[in-house]
Amino acid sequence: MECEELRVDMREMTPAEGRRAAETAQLIFRINHTMPFTPEYDSLVKELFGDRIGEGTRITAPFNLVASDNLSIGKNVYIGGNMLGMCRGGIEIEDDVMIAANVSLISNNHDLYDRQILTCRPVRICKGAWIGAGAQIMPGVRIGKYAVIGAGSIVTKDVGDYQVAVGNPARIIKELDPSGFE
C-alpha cells in the first residue's frame, strides 16, 4: 500500500489536544479496570469509539491506544487482550477481523534525527484477516482480505488478499483458496 507520509511535530500540540489525550488515557484506564461483558464496560467502549466501532465487535481489556480518534473498527471484530494501537497515522480494521492477544498495530514512528517528529502512515487490516498472537503490524502496511499473519511475526510490507505471512520480517509462505471463504 503506497501512502503518503504525514509528519507530526509533537512540540506543536495545542493545549486542547493535550487535554483530549489525557481524557482519552483516563477513559482507557477506566475501561481496563471495568468488569468485562457488562453494560458499564460496553458503555465506556462506546464512549471511547462513538460511531467508529461496528456492531458485534469485542475488545478484550487491557488495551492501550494512543491517538484513538484515528482508529476505526468494523463489525464482528474480535481483539484479544494487551493490544497496543499507535494510531496517529490512522488504523482501519474492517469487518470480521480476528486479532489475537499481545498484537501491536503501529501507524507512527519517530524521525531518526528529530525524535519530536512523528512519521505517520496508515495501517489497514482488511475484511476477515486473522492476526496471530504477538504479531506487530508496522506503519504503512495493508493486510489483505482473509490474510493470516503468524504469531510473533513482524510485518513491514503489505500482505495480499488470502496470503499467509510469518516471521521477522514476515514473508509470504502460502496462498489460501478464496473459495474456502464463500
Per-residue pLDDT, averaged over 156-180, amounts to 97
Which pLDDT score, from 0 to 100, does residue 182 have?
Answer: 73
| Domains of the chain, first to last | 6-181 (2.160.10.10)
Asked whether 117 and 9 are in contact (CB, 8 A), the reply is yes
Over residues 148-165, mean pLDDT: 98
pTM to 2 decimals?
0.94
At residue 21, φ and ψ (nearest 5 deg) are -60, -45
Task: Choose, from 33, 46, 110, 174, the residue flagged as catalytic.
Answer: 110
On whether the CB atoms of residues 61 and 35 are closer than 8 A, the answer is no
What is the DSSP code string of 66-135?
A: ESGGGEEE-SS-EE-TTEEEE-TT-EEE-TT-EE-TT-EEE-EEE-SS-TTEEEE--EEE-TT-EE-TT-
| Residue 33 is among the residues annotated as catalytic for this protein | no
pLDDT tens per residue, range 4-17: 899 999 999 999 99
Set of cell numbers at residue 29: 484506564
Q: pLDDT tens for residues 16-28?
A: 999 999 999 999 9
Q: Distance between the two ends of the chain, CA-based, in angstroms?
A: 25
